[in-house]
Structure 1
Amino acid sequence: MRLRRTPQDTQLFARCTELAELIQGCNLVLAELSGIPADARQQAGARMQELTDQADAALGAITRQLRENYITPLDRGDFFALADHLREVCYQLESVSFAMTSQVFDELPAGVPEMLAVLSHQSDQTLRMTRRLQGHYDQWDYVETMDRLHLRAISLSQSIADAVPLSRRGLTYTAASMQLASSFTQASASFKDVGRIAAAIALKES
């Protein structure tokens, strides 16, 4: 394949922003799941599949552009890693939605609204980062925010998975709550992974 010499600055950055917007869409689905009756959650959660399909398409478009162009504003490997990790966030949020739609939850466990707020904040900051990245490679504020919010997420997930109150609800409820807590933590960690890529870019470019 013959590589092009023309930089595709705008398209590559726009695709990363598109992925961040899809992450926000995933968070909107999670917010909806937290506020509707249990019997309606399955249908709402199914919309996550559409969002992850769109994330796959966005990553595929970025991959094709990187294969065809070797003059890019950022290291090609960093561009791919950023897009790949943004796509991964969408899938981790889909895992959260799957855990939230468990039929065992008539009402979601205590701590879920606070955990969703953390993920929403991480999502907002990620969209802001991608929108600013083209003109500001130094995104240390984003890196620090993701680290801090992930530590908060770990603390909240421990409260969701607290075995003492859960034991009163039975083994099935306990297992579902622990799965939910784990999915929350992994989703938050995926944002922190995006922060690591932002840090790598800042170290190279700023």
Structure 2
Amino acid sequence: MRLRLTPREDSFYDMFADSANNLVIGARLLVELISDDADRPAIAEKMRACEHAGDEFTHAIMHRLNETFITPFDRGDIYRLAGMIDDVMDAMEEAADLVVLYQIEQFPKDVVQMVEVLERAAELTAEAMPRLRSMRELNEYWIEINRLENQADRVYRRLLAHLFSGEYEALTVMKLKEVIDRLEEAADAFEHVANTIETIAVKES
């Protein structure tokens, strides 16, 4: 670890932790959303509030970044990490919104597995954020996130094959595909977060 001789603004660590914990809330709302007896409009409203909270966390990080001369790690990496966490939340909220707008009541079973992957990725991301302070014990995190993203890719391909198997009407295919596309975007965004953290850790080691 590099020796630092100047004071720095460490509140970024807490702000990133708050932002990542918000992803856990969002992912668990998705789990609720696709359950058979879900009150989907109410859950989607909670998801919108969660997305709004995520925007507030992102804006707070950017505001602090503009006010801070000495940052705990590279300014560009702080900017990218905040934006990529926001991308995850945006994709999850869009998926929830589409479910309600399209009045989707039934989901292929693999959608459950895909959402469970997102929930696990959110939990791992939230667990990793406090370790940014020491930049230690992070390699298992980004390795596991990469594995989960690969799993999400496989599930996504199975879902596409299922959607285009002829079982569903064309309009239903279109609606479901838009939702699973957003879920796939969320999985990709989780990997982008992990890749950025890996870059930060390498620079700081």
- TM-score of the superposed pair, with normalisation by structure 2: 0.89
* CA displacement, residues 26-48 of structure 1 (integer Å, 9 cap, x when unaligned): 0121111122436x312211221
Bigger drift between 84-93 and 29-38 goes to: 29-38
> Is the aligned partner of 1:75 residue 2:69?
no
Counterpart of 2:37?
37
> How far, CA to CA, are the matches of 1:162 and 1:47 in structure 2?
32
In structure 1, the residue matched to 2:49 is 50
State the alpha-carbon separation in 2 of the partners of residues 103 and 55 from structure 1.
Answer: 24
Which 5+ residue runs of structure 1 have no aligned equivalent?
none
Residue 7 of structure 1 corresponds to which residue in structure 2?
Answer: 8
Q: Distance in 2 between matches of 1:91 and 1:164?
A: 24
> What aligned pairs does 1:1-206 form with structure 2 within 5 A after superposition?
6-9=7-10, 11-37=11-37, 40-101=39-100, 103=102, 105-136=104-135, 139-163=138-162, 166-206=165-205
Inter-CA distance 118–163: structure 2 relative to 1 (3 Å threshold):
closer
Q: Sort the Cα spacing of 1:167 and 1:101 in 2 relative to 1 into closer, same or farther, 3 A.
A: farther
Identity of aligned residues (%): 22
Moved over 4 A (4+): 163-166
* C-alpha distance after superposition, 1:90-143 (max 9, x if no partner): 101112212333545332122011111100110011001112111225622222
| Greater mean alpha carbon deviation, residues 124-133 or residues 177-186 | 177-186
Distance, in Å, in 1 between the alignment partners of 2:111 and 2:187 is 13
Letter of the 1:123 partner, please give it. A
Long gaps (5+) in structure 2: 1-5
Q: Tell me whether 161-170 or 60-69 shows the greater mean CA deviation.
A: 161-170
Verify the 8 A CA contact 1:96 1:183 in the aligned structure 2.
yes
| Matched residue SS, 1:161 | helix
Q: In the comparison of the two structures, how many residue pairs are matched?
A: 200
Q: Is the 8 A contact 1:100 1:108 kept in 2?
A: no
